[in-house]
Amino acid sequence: MPPTLIIDGYNLIRNTPELASIDREDIAEGREALISRLYEYRKIRRFPIVVVFDGTGFYHLSTTRENRMGIRILFSHQGQTADDFIVSLAKQKGKEIVVVTSDRGIHDRLRSTDCVCVRSETFDAKIDNALYELYKGQGFKEEEDDTARYPGHKRGTAKKPPKRVRRQRDILNKL
């Protein structure tokens, strides 16, 4: 089962230079640009995506839930921050959840759960890589491993990381 991405919308917008410049001009256009970018990513990776925006102070919003281009868009309720909404949503969903935010408070609150937290900047780079694969036909080349050149060279101890760390690494590699 593919992981579900829960994205802190405004955090990702403001940590992506192209989207941040659009957001400074018009906040609604910034949201639309993010949704379009995520739609392009979703065409490649096919992960369920939930984007959470802070709805506090937006009294004119008629709905707090919306589905567009296969992306679920949620606004936090009045009196609730997007951070609280993201944490409660992630705790409800359990495993196979990737929370995308650079907010240290969210990372700290989700540390005891099985969720994987990814910084917005890292996820933006993953989107760029996926779009590069789509439009150029291949991904970025990884750096060559030195042990392949020197087969007699030992790599060190063969200790495996804990299962939780391996699972999180596998999920991040899928992005």
pLDDT (tens digit per residue) in 2-14: 889 999 999 999 9
Q: Options 1.10.150, 1.10.3470, 3.40.720, 3.40.50; which CATH number does 4-140+157-174 get?
A: 3.40.50
As a whole number of angstroms, the distance between CA 117 and CA 103 comes to 10
What per-residue confidence (pLDDT) applies to 137?
61
Indicate if the pLDDT at residue 161 is higher than 50.
yes
Q: Which residues contact 74 (CB under 8 A, 6 or more apart)?
A: 50, 51, 52, 53, 64, 65, 66, 85, 89
d(CA 80, CA 110): 17
**pLDDT at 169 exceeding the cut of 90:** no
CA gap 32, 83 in Å, rounded: 21
Instruction: Check whether 139 has a pLDDT greater than 70.
Output: no
pLDDT digit string (tens) for 110-135? 988 888 999 999 999 999 988 887 77
Report pTM: 0.78
Query: What is residue 157's predicted lDDT score, i.e. its pLDDT?
Result: 64
